[in-house]
Amino acid sequence: MAELDHYRNIGIFAHVDAGKTTTTERILKLTGKIHKSGEVHDGEATTDFMDQERERGITIQSAATSCEWNKHRLNIIDTPGHVDFTIEVYRSLKVLDGGIGVFCGSGGVEPQSETNWRYANDSAVSRVILVNKLDRLGADFYRVVKQVKDVLAANALVMVLPIGTEENFCGVVDLLTRKAWVWDDSGLPENYTLQDVPADMVDLVEEYREKLIETAVEQDDDILEAYLDGNEPSLADIKRCIRKGTIALDFFPTYCGSAFKNKGIQPVLDAVVDYLPSPMEVPPQPEVDLEGNPTGKFAIVDVNKPFRALAFKIMDDRFGALTFTRIYSGKIEKGSTVLNTATGKTERIGRMVEMHANSREEISSAHAGDIIAIVGMKNVQTGHTLCDPDHPATLEPMIFPDPVISIAIKPKDKAASEKMGIALAKMIAEDPSFRVETDEDSKETIIKGMGELHLDIKVDILRRTHGVDVEVGKPQVAYRETITLAKSDSYTHKKQSGGSGQFGKIDYMVEPGEPGSGFTFESKVTGGNVPREYWPAVEKGFRFCMSQGVLAGFPLLDVKVTLLDGGFHAVDSSAIAFEIAAKGAYRQTIPLAGPQLIEPIMKVDVFTPEDHVGDVIGDLNRRRGMIKAQEAGPTGVRIKAEAPLSDMFGYIGDLRTMTSGRGQFSMEFSHYLPCPKNVSEQVIKEVKERQAANKK
C-alpha cells in the first residue's frame, strides 16, 4: 500500500499550440523513458502517433504513458488542445488526480484554456501551472499570471521567477530555496548550474517569496501564528502547507520555462511529486445506482477492497480493441473475471498492458491507482464500470455533449458499404462525441460531431485507417424547434372495435419551458379523473413526439406540458389509450403554439494581427455575429463574439485569407436562439424539397 503514496496520475492540458506535447516529450526524455525528444513540428512526437496528428501538428486523441521521477511513478496523459476534441480532455480529467495546465508565455490564457480549466474545476483536479514558451517574442510571465487571476479566477501561487525574457530567457529563480537554475545554450536539460540570485532580481525575489509564504501558511493555524510572531517556517513546513492548499484547490503553484529549449522542466516535475496528490489523497469516486442516483457509497482507494474501475477510453488498433481503464479500488489479475454493470455481463481479463503512447508492455496484475489498458474486451464502452462480480457497483458515469454539426456520407461502391458499417462501429466506440444515424427518408448515413475539423478527421480516418472511400455531402446544422405561445387544449382518443375499446381523454396545457430545460411534464389532476397510473403514459406519449417537430422534423426543445384534467372509462381505458391520446394531442396543439425554428449559436474566439481587426469584425458582422469583447495583446487582438453555426462554415479559410495566414480561431457551442424569418423559411423549404426528392 505504501507505494500508492508514490503514484501521480496527471494530465497535461492547454490551448492549441501552448506546448503540451512538447512538454510531455521533455518529461519523457528527462525521466529516461525516451532517449531522443521528437518535435511536434517535425511530426515525430511520441504521443502524437496518428498519421493525422503528425501531418497537422496537433494532438487529436489523448495518449497515455508512464515514467519515473524521484522514485515516484508518473502516469501521464497528453490531451488535445483543439476545441473539437475537448471530449478527450473531459474524459481524461475525469480519471486523473492532478494536472499540469500549460499556458503560452505570449498567447496567455486562450479560449480553450478556459474550457479545459472549467472541466478541471468540475472534476476537482489539483493543478500546477507552467507558463511555457518564455523564449518567444512577446512572452511575459507576469502578464500571464495576472490573466490566470483575472480570466480564470484562479489563485496562481508564483513559485519561480524567470531570468531574462524572450531570446534572453536562460533560467528561473526558485523562490523557496533562493537559488537560480541557469541553463546553457546547448539545449540539453541536464546542462544547468545552481547559482545565487542575480543582483538585479534580489528585491523582486524577496517580494514574491514573502507573498508565497504568506499564502502558504494560511493553510495551518499554528504555523501562521508562529509566522506572525516573526518566526519563518522551515522549508518542509512551507512545502507541506503548499501541498495542502494545492490539493484543496485553494491555489495553483505556478512555474515558467521553455519546453522547446529544455529550460525549466525539472522544477515542474519536482512540483508534481511535491504538491500534486497521490490516488489516496483525492476524494473517493461516488457510486451510483443503475438510474444514476448516488447511493452514498464510495470506491475507496485500497488494494484490499472489492475491485472497482472505470473504462474511460476505447481505442482500436492492429492488435484489437484496447480499453483504457482507471482502477479505483482492489486489484485485478490476468485471467480474472470482471462484471460490467452497464451490460450486466461478465468478461474474462485476457491481456493487460501498460501503455507508452502506441507501444505497450505486458503486465500480469494491476491495482488501485493504476491506469492500464485491457486488450480484447467485447462489450465495454466509455464510461462503463468494471467491478468484482461478487460485489457489484456502478461508478459515477460520464456525460457527453450533443453534436452540433452533421454531414451525409456515402460509400463509393458496395464493397466499401460493408466495410463502412464495421469501421463506423469502431469509431463510435472510441469517441462518444461522434454519432452516426441513418436518414429514414433518404437512407443516407449521417455522421455528427463537434465541429468541421472533428468530422474532417473522422472522414480521413475512414479513408486511410479503414480503407473506406466515401463521398461527403454538405455540412448540416443541428437545428431545433421550440414553441413561443402557451396553449390549453383537450383531446379524446376513442376507438371501438368489438369487445373492449380504447378510451382516454386529456385536458392539458403546453407552454414554452425555461431555456435549456428540454422537456418537462407535470400533472395537476385532482379527484381521479385521470387515474395516477395513467400519468406516465401521457408523459411517454408527449416525450416520444418531442423527437420530431412540426415545422421541419427537428427535435422540439424547452417545452412544458401540464396535465390539467381528463376522463377515463372503467373498462376501455388503458395506459396505451392515454399514450395514443397524448400523441394525438401533440399533433393537434403544437402547430397552434407558435412553433419556431432555433439554431445553434457558437462562442467564437478569433485572434488576429492588429492591422486586420477591421476586416475580421466586418466579416463576423456579415456572418450575423455579435461582437462581445476585444482584448489587445502584445502580438495581436483577440475578438470574442457569438455567431450562428450555419454562417461559420469554411471560416478558417476566409480568416487566413484576410490575415495573410496569421489569424487563428476557436469555436464551441454556446446556446440556441430563434432563427430569423428568412433563414427559417429557407431551412424549412430545403427540408421539404429533400423529403419530396426522396419520395420520388
- Domains in the chain: boundaries: 2-281, 285-395, 405-478, 485-593, 598-678
pLDDT at site 204: 93
The pLDDT tens digits for 673-690 are: 999 998 899 888 888 887
pLDDT for 39 equals 42
How far is residue 510's CA from residue 545's CA, in Å, rounded to a whole number?
13
What pLDDT score was predicted for residue 563?
Answer: 93
Q: What is the predicted pLDDT for the residue at 42?
A: 40
Q: What angle do CA 264, 269, 273 make, to 5 degrees?
A: 150
Q: What is the gyration radius of the CA atoms in the chain, in angstroms? A: 29
Task: Please state the φ and ψ torsions of residue 632, each to the nearest 5 degrees.
Answer: -85, 135
Q: What 8-state DSSP symbol labels residue 39?
A: P
Strands ordered across the beta sheet of 179-183? 160-163, 171-174, 179-183, 192-196
Q: Which pLDDT score, from 0 to 100, does residue 281 have?
A: 83
- What is the C-alpha separation between 199 and 91, in angstroms, rounded? 47
pLDDT tens sequence across 662-674 = 777 777 788 889 9
String of DSSP letters for 551-619: SSSPPB-SEEEEEEEEE--TTT--HHHHHHHHHHHHHHHGGGS-EEEEEEEEEEEEEE-GGGHHHHHHH
Q: Tell me the C-alpha distance between 625 and 644, whole Å.
A: 7
Tens digit of each residue's pLDDT (9 = 90 or more) over 86-127 = 666 676 777 788 888 888 888 888 766 777 787 788 788 899
β partners of residue 106? none
Locate cell 509566522: which residue?
227
In total, the chain counts a number of residues equal to 696
Q: How far is CA 268 from the centre of its chain?
A: 24
Which residues are bridge partners to 385 per DSSP? 310
Would you place residue 362 in the very low, low, confident or very high pLDDT band (cuts 50, 70, 90)? confident
Segment 22-44 mean pLDDT: 55
Residue 279: pLDDT band with limits 50, 70, 90: confident
The 10s digit of each residue's pLDDT in 150-196 is 888 899 999 999 998 888 888 899 999 999 999 888 777 778 888 89
Strands 171-174 and 160-163: antiparallel
Choose the weakest-confidence range: 43-47, 387-391, 534-538.
Answer: 43-47
End-to-end CA distance of the chain: 69
Provide the 10 A C-beta neighbour count for residue 248: 12
DSSP run (H or E) holding 53: helix 51-56
Give start and end residues of each alpha helix (H) in 376-489: 414-430, 452-464
**pLDDT tens-digit map of 593-642:** 999 999 989 888 888 888 889 999 999 999 999 999 888 876 678 899 99
Per the prediction, the chain carries an average pLDDT of 82
Check if 405-478 and 598-678 are the same fold: yes
Task: Please spell the DSSP secondary structure of 287-306, one letter per residue.
Answer: EE-TTS-EEEEEE---TTSP
The pLDDT assigned to 403 comes to: 74
Averaged pLDDT, 212-237 = 90
Architecture of domain 2-281: 3-Layer(aba) Sandwich (3.40)
- Kindly give the interhelix angle for 535-545 and 575-589, rounded to the nearest 10 degrees: 40
Query: What's the angle, vertex CA 8, arms to CA 4 and CA 9, rounded to 5?
Result: 110
pLDDT single digits (tens) 285-330: 777 776 667 777 887 888 888 888 888 877 766 666 778 888 888 8
* Structure-model confidence comparison of residues 282 and 578, the more confident one: 578
Q: Which pTM was predicted?
A: 0.67
For 285-395, give the CATH class: mainly beta
User: For residue 67, what is the DSSP state?
Assistant: E
Percent of the chain with pLDDT over 70: 87
- Specify burial of residue 269 (Cβ count, 10 A radius: 0-12, 13-18, 19+): buried
DSSP one-letter code for 263: B
Q: Which CATH superfamily is domain 405-478 in?
A: Elongation Factor G (Translational Gtpase), domain 3 (3.30.70.870)
Q: Where are the alpha helices (DSSP H) in 438-496?
A: 452-464
The angle formed by the CA atoms of residues 18, 24 and 25, to the nearest 5 degrees, is 110
* Residue-by-residue DSSP string for 216-244: HHTT-HHHHHHHHTT-PPPHHHHHHHHHH
Residue 205 pLDDT class (50, 70, 90 cuts): very high
Distance (Å, whole) CA 166 – CA 553: 56
Report the CATH architecture of 598-678.
Answer: 2-Layer Sandwich (3.30)
**Which residues, in sequence order, are CB contacts of 655 under 8 Å at separation 6+?**
606, 608, 616, 619, 663, 664, 665
pLDDT band at 258; cut points 50, 70, 90:
confident
C-alpha 8/C-alpha 632 separation (Å) is 38
Ranges of H-type helices in 629-668? 651-658
What is d(CA 400, CA 381) in angstroms, rounded to the nearest whole number? 13
CA distance 81 to 89: 8
Cell of 12: 497535461
CB-facing half-sphere around the CA of 166: CA atoms within 13 A: 3
pLDDT digits (tens, 9 = 90+) for 38-80: 444 344 444 333 444 444 444 334 456 777 788 888 887 766 5
Residue of 50, 56, 62, 53 whose CA lies nearest to 24 = 62
Q: Rounded to an integer, what distance in angstroms lies between the CA atom of residue 164 and that of residue 256?
A: 12
Neighbours of 488 (CB within 10 A): 12
**Residues 277/152, Cβ–Cβ less than 8 Å:** no
Question: In angstroms, rounded to a whole number, what is the distance separating the alpha carbons of residues 145 and 254?
Answer: 8
Q: Check: CATH 3.40.630.90 for 485-593?
A: no
Cβ of 627: how many Cβ atoms within 10 Å? 16
Which of the two residues, 216 and 500, has the higher pLDDT score?
A: 216
Nearest to 163 by CA among 238, 239, 30, 258: 258
